[in-house]
Amino acid sequence: MWQEENQNVALDPMIAERLKRDRDGLIAAVVRQYDTGEVLMLAWMNDDALERTLTTRRGTYWSRSRGEIWVKGETSGHHQEVKSVALDCDGDAVLLSVDQTGPACHTGTRSCFTNELLEEAS
């Protein structure tokens, strides 16, 4: 497991100083399919999850409900190969462009954004 092999790896200080974390030390991670731009999911990252993502190129996040790091696809097989990561202008969110294998949503759908609240105007 990555965590056991790389416990002493820390986020680059030049990246860390640019982050504006919430009160729990997290930033939002918007995840999209790299070749289509389809928005797949929103997750949360702490410094450790971001460092692991940058190092391994696998989508790695912080589970607020379980209180632990998780690698997308580690149990489901629905992996994310990270193609690029961009920090937003405020430093409080990152945009991951990934190649998604299988569904991105824990409900089994391709995208977590399937509940339309407002449809496109004609």
| Residue 120 structure tokens | 């496109």
Question: pTM here?
Answer: 0.88
| Residue 96 structure tokens | 């991951």
Cβ of 1: how many Cβ atoms within 10 Å?
A: 8
Q: What pLDDT digit, counting tens, does each position of 2-41 carry?
A: 344 445 569 999 999 999 999 999 999 999 999 999 999 9
Quote the DSSP letter at residue 58: B
Q: What pLDDT digit, counting tens, does each position of 71-101 carry?
A: 999 999 999 999 999 999 999 999 999 999 9
What's the confidence (pLDDT) of residue 121? 86
What's the confidence (pLDDT) of residue 7? 53
Residues sharing a CB contact under 8 Å with residue 103, sequence separation 6 or more, in sequence order: 78, 109, 110
Q: What pLDDT digit, counting tens, does each position of 35-58 carry?
A: 999 999 999 999 999 999 999 999
Residue 107 has pLDDT above 60, yes or no: yes
Quote the DSSP letter at residue 48: H
| Domains within the chain, CATH numbers bracketed | 2-100 (3.10.20.810)
Three-state SS at 41 = strand
What's the confidence (pLDDT) of residue 8? 55
What's the Cα-to-Cα distance from 8 to each of 52, 60, 62, 63, 71, rounded to whole Å? Answer: 11, 17, 18, 21, 18
Compute the C-alpha angle 46/49/55, nearest 5°.
140
Residues 77, 75: Cα–Cα separation, whole Å? 6
What's the Cα-to-Cα distance from 28 to each of 4, 45, 76, 103, 119, rounded to whole Å? Answer: 25, 6, 22, 20, 25
